[in-house]
Amino acid sequence: MEELILYIVKRLVNNPDAVKVEKGDMREDAVIYNLTVADEDKGFIIGKQGRVAKAIRQVVKAAAAKTGEKINIDIL
């Protein structure tokens, strides 16, 4: 899943070298992935009213559902 998150996010930001994804702890039976981007790119990832972040989460959750995983993404 880390590769999928990186693939999506790196194409949305101006500074793709600053994008990092780390697998975190479990929370409510879901694996948490911590997404870190440059400060100037956070607006691109979150989007207006969180629409881009929600869309990224939906795509990744759908891909994880095929393998039976439950995941969530925290944007730091």
pLDDT tens, position by position, 39-53: 999 999 999 999 999
pLDDT at residue 37 in the model: 96
The whole domain housing 24 covers: 2-75
> Is it the case that residue 28 has pLDDT exceeding 90?
no
How many domains is the chain partitioned into structurally?
1
- pLDDT band for position 18 (50/70/90)? very high
> What CATH number does residue 71 fall under?
3.30.300.20
Characterize 39-76 residue by residue with b for buried, 16 or more Cβ atoms within 10 angstroms of its Cβ, and e for exposed: eebeeebbeeeeebbeebbeebbeebeeeeeebebebe
pLDDT at residue 22 in the model: 96
The pTM of this model reads 0.89
